[in-house]
């Protein structure tokens, strides 16, 4: 197999977009098959999605842990590992998966609302809207830094009555395993301490591509939601 780091930029971009398209199809099938349902445990749903990815694409590897969270667990940031929880009939649930397709990473997250709670439905509707506004802000400034984009996403969240649920709002994505290549440097994240431009090349001289994560929470009512996909393509 050819070394993916040797691919030219149009090929890298096409492979990242293809990986995301497959992840988007995976999530569409999650909804169509009703895999997120009352009475199922979060780990059970995670395993169902893992098996579905294997069925659809032969995918057996994920570059980060598979995340399915419901109810109060949706308040927790990625790095925490809350106890498994059974999904309720009036719950909000988000899924965050990082499947690897032909050595390229996808990172995709969506939120599902069971029942008719208007506040949960409002949060779900706000997630893609704030994502789109964040992307527009990114596109408007060719020199934008991670810190500036994070601040704008936090402002958009507060304007809509929510808080951000994590210390960052996105990260680098690329050939697997990008975490090993890039380490845990703050420059790898859309975060308050990242004063470097997001439009730059990495240590290997390749164009940086980014994932934008929108994790909105309501701490008082103890629920949150999540939306993520490619920012730069």
pLDDT for 8 beyond 90: no
What is the greatest pairwise CA distance in the chain?
51
The two three-digit tokens of residue 26, written as one number: 């995976």
Note the pLDDT of residue 185.
Answer: 84
Note the pLDDT of residue 180.
Answer: 43
Buried b (16+ CB within 10 A) or exposed e, 148-181: bbbebbeebbeebebebbbebbbbbbbbbebeeb
Report helix, strand or coil for 4. Answer: helix
Residue where the block lists tokens 């697997």? 176
Name the residue among 176, 168, 177 with its Cα closest to residue 228.
168
Question: For residues 151 and 106, what is the distance between their CA atoms, to the nearest angstrom?
Answer: 25
Average pLDDT, rounded, for the chain: 89
pLDDT for 60 beyond 50: yes
State how far Cα 209 lies from the chain centre.
Answer: 14
Note the pLDDT of residue 230.
Answer: 95
Share of the chain above pLDDT 90, in %: 69
Q: Which domains does the chain have, with CATH numbers?
A: 4-230 (3.90.230.10)
Note the pLDDT of residue 4.
Answer: 45
pLDDT for 63 beyond 80: no
Pairing of strands 100-101, 104-105: antiparallel
pLDDT for 179 beyond 70: no
pLDDT for 6 beyond 60: no
């Amino acid at each position: 197999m050819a070394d993916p780091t040797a691919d030219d930029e149009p090929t890298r971009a096409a492979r990242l977009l293809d990986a995301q398209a497959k992840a988007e199809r995976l999530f569409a099938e999650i909804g169509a098959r009703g895999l997120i349902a009352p009475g199922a445990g979060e780990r059970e749903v995670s395993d169902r999605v893992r098996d579905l990815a294997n069925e659809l694409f032969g995918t057996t590897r994920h570059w980060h842990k598979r995340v399915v969270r419901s109810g109060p667990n949706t308040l927790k940031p990625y790095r925490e590992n809350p106890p498994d929880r059974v999904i309720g009939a009036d719950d909000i649930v988000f899924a965050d998966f990082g499947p690897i397709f032909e050595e390229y990473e996808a990172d995709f997250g969506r939120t599902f609302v069971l029942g008719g709670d208007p506040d949960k439905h409002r949060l779900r509707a706000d997630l893609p809207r704030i994502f789109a506004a964040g992307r527009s802000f990114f596109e408007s400034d060719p020199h934008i830094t991670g810190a500036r984009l994070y601040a704008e996403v936090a402002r958009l969240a507060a304007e809509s009555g929510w808080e951000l649920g994590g210390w960052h709002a996105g990260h680098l994505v690329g050939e697997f395993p990008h975490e090993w290549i890039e380490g845990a440097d703050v420059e790898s994240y859309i975060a308050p301490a990242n004063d470097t431009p997001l439009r730059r090349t990495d240590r290997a001289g390749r164009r940086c591509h980014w994932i934008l994560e929108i994790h909105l929470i309501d701490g008082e009512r103890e629920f949150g939601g999540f939306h993520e996909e490619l920012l730069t393509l």
